[in-house]
Amino acid sequence: MATDPAAGARVWFITGASSGFGLALALAALERGDKVIATARTPEQIAWLARRYGDRVATTRLDVTRQSEIDASIAFGIERFGRIDMLVNNAGYGYLAAVEEGEDREIRDLFETNVFGLAAVTRAALPALREGGSGVIINLSSAGGFVGLPGSGYYAASKFAIEGLSEALAREVEPLGLRVMIVEPGPFRTDWAGRSLHQSPVYLPAYEATAGQRRRQVSASSGHQPGDPERGARAIIHAAVSADPPLRLALGRLALETARAKLRSVREDLDAWESLSAATDYARQDSSSDPFTSIPL
């Protein structure tokens, strides 16, 4: 039988709840009277949540790269609260390197957590979400999941992957009563640019003015970012529990500005090269002329 989360406290399942947006979301959900299954690779770091909020919070170990821990944490949450209404895929980290500077092992580990881990948690939670007949899957992407910037190509690629998966998933689950929301924060004052950030030790002089400059900017910005995680968490919850959650939610003025700039750039390219793009279809039989013949090769 489908549940109606609006009739009572919603149940949130949050990955990476020990810091950053994961912790801010857990606290915001608990403050509004909801229940939270807070997960972390080191659950001892979030044990204080249970002491503060009592039986409305359950904490458990979860490394999203370990399928056994994924299955166990989902089962634990459902046993504790009976259902999952809101799945928050927040676990992940950053990696800075020019594309040529990237290290194979680091790149693969990044995708194991940011992409494959998110997909595995989502697959494991979907049966319970489908059974409930309502709910929202909230995938933490990034402004860098919409606009690729120098020095973060691999991180952007992992977030672009999340966005593509989320778009497809949204169409698959909407008829089942579920919604998907992609969250795209700009720079927020979390630990992303601090302890959670990985960087390649390789520095190639050829990229000093592009990837190198951005690496320095990101490192210097730690602790000074304009985004407030508490406000961001409240905004995410406000959108997620609304009657019509957006597919995308940008957070912060910089995220809005960079997304709009990209949309303008994409439109300009599409319009400028429209004739060439359209001319690559097979010529229509009812067409008096083939536009491709006028294009020099």
Which residues are part of the catalytic machinery? 141, 155, 159
Q: Where does 165-270 show beta strands of DSSP type E?
A: 178-185, 197-199, 248-251
DSSP 8-47: S--EEEESSTTSHHHHHHHHHHHHTT-EEEEEESSGGGGH
Q: What is the DSSP letter of 6?
A: G
**Structural element, H or E, at residue 137:** strand 135-140
Residue 109 phi/psi, 5° resolution?
A: -65, -40
Separation between Cα atoms, residue 167 and residue 149, nearest integer Å: 22
Count the Cβ atoms, other than its own, within 10 Å of residue 274: 10
